[in-house]
Amino acid sequence: MLRFFSPHLKIRIQEAMRNKKLPEPPETSHGAIRRAVVIGNGFVGAENQCVGLVRALGLSHHHFLFRVTRPREGINRLLHWLPVSIHKKLDSVIRRFCGIQKSNQVSPFSTEKIGISNVLEADAHQIAAMARETFHKDGPLLVVASGRDTISVATSIKRLAPENVFIVQIQHPRFLLNRFDLVITPQHDYYPLTPHAQRQIPWFLRRWVTPWEPPGRNVVLTVGALHQADSTALRVAASTWHDEFATLPKPLLVVNVGGPAGNCPYGVDLAKQLVVMLQNVLWSCGTIRISFSRRTPEKISRILIKEFATNPKVQIWDGEGPNPHMGHLAWADAFVITADSVSMLSEACSTGKPVYVIGAELCTWKFADFQNTLQKQGVARPFTGKENITESWSYPPLNDTAQAARQVIAALAQRGWTIHA
């Protein structure tokens, strides 16, 4: 909470947020949104969705990032199922009992400098007070949050400053959707309501599975996840990574490996299968670039590294130096992506380039529904190892982020508000 920080730092933050506006604002309207607050949960996938939406709304240089942090070390790894507020209180009791000092250090936000140099703990009362105090000068405040741990903060801000804020919650909050101005969530989050899903759930458990009802008027459905890989970002990435990627033999096949998830489990068998398939298509590739996510188990990455580390046509990013992910999106001719990552698939499918998925048959529940949707829309195909990568194919790219931004603008217009970007 902000009470943990020095008075001097608080003043700096408040002054920075009050002064964060575009030149020459309209003097007669209090309905123009000129700045946004992003409330993250410390996970890149969730926070990228918020920042991607803010970018699409034209506020990429006029937003502040706050973060709801959950204790993670020691016994806290076993308590992640608790609501974050209760988890923090319990952590505080444990620390006092054990005599452990809690650091007041602020976490740096390395992705982008956005008005202040550090990310601060999200404080609903402070953000709501700022929205009320600056409303007549700077207009309404857009608040964009994503992830389960941000829900209580976002709803508290709405309760404390209902006339001064517009709250957008990304990812389904499961309950009480009417507490948000807008909810943006993938359509596969409503898979539990389908007849097929209902047949998979014992009747006595159905009342415990959310969501309980179809999406209401304040729910925007997307195919995949929102992200930052828009056309502008890809043009910048193409320029940034030009020297490294432009001279690579074509076609360039980018292989993104994630990690097993609860509804998309896999292990070394899939890694060995991927090795065989890549060997089979290697003849049709000029270059293969392989990268792993933070969730990739070492036992899986080790198999691919052992097989391809000495192959002159294969390059493996070792995690050192700048992350080439945006460069891959900009320069790749085709992608192979493990089925577990909605974010990586959503980004790749927004490029209009061929996207092949491995492991989709292992997915269950809403993950399987997501994979089925991608294939039905023709934006992704199963990877078989029989492909000729020189033979390209195309499709209408996924445009979820831009479409969601248009829905936000329309919802704002119903309140008489606009985006002043």
CATH number attached to the domain at 231-382: 3.40.50.2000
The Cα 351–Cα 239 span in angstroms is 16
Mean pLDDT by 10 residues, the chain (421 residues): 46 55 47 94 92 96 89 58 55 57 39 47 93 94 95 96 97 92 97 91 83 93 97 96 97 97 93 98 98 94 96 94 96 98 97 98 95 97 98 95 98 95 74
Would 32-75+118-223+403-419 and 231-382 be classified into the same CATH topology? yes
Q: What is the pLDDT of residue 87?
A: 54
Name the strand (E) or helix (H) holding 143: strand 141-146
Q: What is the pLDDT of residue 218?
A: 96
Q: What is the pLDDT of residue 222?
A: 98
Q: What residue ranges do the domains of the chain occupy? A: 32-75+118-223+403-419, 231-382
Q: What is the pLDDT of residue 303?
A: 97
The CA distances from residue 285 to 112, 146, 281, 326, 358, in Å, are 35, 38, 7, 20, 18
The Cα 308–Cα 316 span in angstroms is 8
Q: Which are the contacts of 32, defined by CB distance < 8 A and separation ≥ 6?
A: 25, 26, 139, 140, 417, 418, 419, 420
CATH number attached to the domain at 32-75+118-223+403-419: 3.40.50
Q: Is the Cβ–Cβ distance between 258 and 344 less than 8 Å? A: yes
